[in-house]
Structure 1
């Protein structure tokens, strides 16, 4: 019975903030909890916030019966990641029930290196903390480069950079078997490789956080 009081209080708080300022971005918006159904999604979000691992997943699945579940489970992770990564340079992008983290190369690695910058460790520590707590997801770690140099060189560099991020997260209690690690070389640019700014944007590692099927 002791858990019911914080549960009720936090559920009420989530419902009240459905149409107020987002505490992580400062933007006015309707909360995703409201989209999934205010009462059910608020409870699901709270369960995800106070529990981890199998318990949280089971609670989320139970909430799925009333239409919340997976969305609410991912909502909580998104909010925590935005809070932890604010001001770090890492972008948090929500795409349906998936979350994508974009880690720019200039803050992650030295030029032409796959060794992580030591001052990026605290950022990855924050990411790892959330991923370890909300373990019922699969992860795709993808390296990308600009088009300077040969295709083979960039393919290898992108693979090694993705592996460096995955290996570090594994030291933060994120299970390696959850991760698919891949390099895309320069085949998936998000900016113009014809400019220095565009090439800098294309040098990145992306981490996709995906709900586990079934």
Structure 2
């Protein structure tokens, strides 16, 4: 069974049409409802469990308003020779996060791929989408249904550091797993479907 899952994962990460359904879901999402009030106890509980699940890994956990964001740095998470394929060391941590979410029908995940500004804009967007799809494949294998999982490749639209330095570009190459209440999923889908809105929402860039 483990071998079958591994083969499925590899295929999912390398076949270009693997996760097009999520893009369609984003495009067809109805008008977003008003933002829901998030119980602070939900944030406290998940943040604690996420930090335990990711202990010893290169992943980061951050609380942003009503969301929790797990960040996988690309340089420590993806094969440098096959930039859309996860390194084996990342499979355990991502699977533990996926299992936390899979058992809770009230929680959804948005997987966001990010790139630095080097290279062509569309190439960066495509690569960031492939990386997000590779991470999302593990959530699907863990049992998370497609109505609770969205994928988005944002390219270099949301830098978190200055792209003028090697260190800044490394910080910008990342995949973020956004955990949020299921009731806010349509709001997130709309937010990350509009490039202009994404750019306005970008956090202050580190210099």
Larger Rg computed on CA atoms: 1
TM-score, scaled to structure 2: 0.66
Contact 2:84/2:127, CA 8 A, preserved across alignment: yes
Offset at residue 114 of structure 1 (A): 0.7
The match for 1:126 among 72, 96, 99 is: 96
Offset at residue 69 of structure 1 (A): 7.7
Offset at residue 200 of structure 1 (A): 0.7
Runs of 4+ residues over 6 Å off in structure 1: none
Q: 1:97 to 1:213 in 2, by over 3 A?
A: same
The match for 1:167 among 128, 132, 137 is: 137
Q: What's the secondary structure of 2:156's corresponding residue?
A: coil
Instruction: Name stretches of at least 5 consecutive residues in structure 2 with no aligned partner.
Output: 1-36, 185-207
The match for 2:119 among 130, 145, 149 is: 149
Q: 1:188 to 1:83 in 2, by over 3 A?
A: same
Offset at residue 70 of structure 1 (A): 2.6
The match for 2:44 among 46, 63, 75 is: 75
* Residues 1:190 and 2:167 aligned together: no
Contact 1:143/1:183, CA 8 A, preserved across alignment: yes
Distance 1:101 1:213 in 2: 20
Distance 1:148 1:121 in 2: 27
- Number of residues of Structure 1 aligned to a counterpart in Structure 2: 147
CA shift digits 1:144-191 (9 cap, x unpaired)? 011121111101001111111111211012223211110111111111
Instruction: Name stretches of at least 5 consecutive residues in structure 1 with no aligned partner.
Output: 1-67
TM-score, scaled to structure 1: 0.64
CA shift digits 1:4-28 (9 cap, x unpaired)? xxxxxxxxxxxxxxxxxxxxxxxxx
Distance 1:174 1:107 in 2: 25
Compare relative contact order (CA 8 Å, sep 6+) and give the higher one, 1 or 2: 2
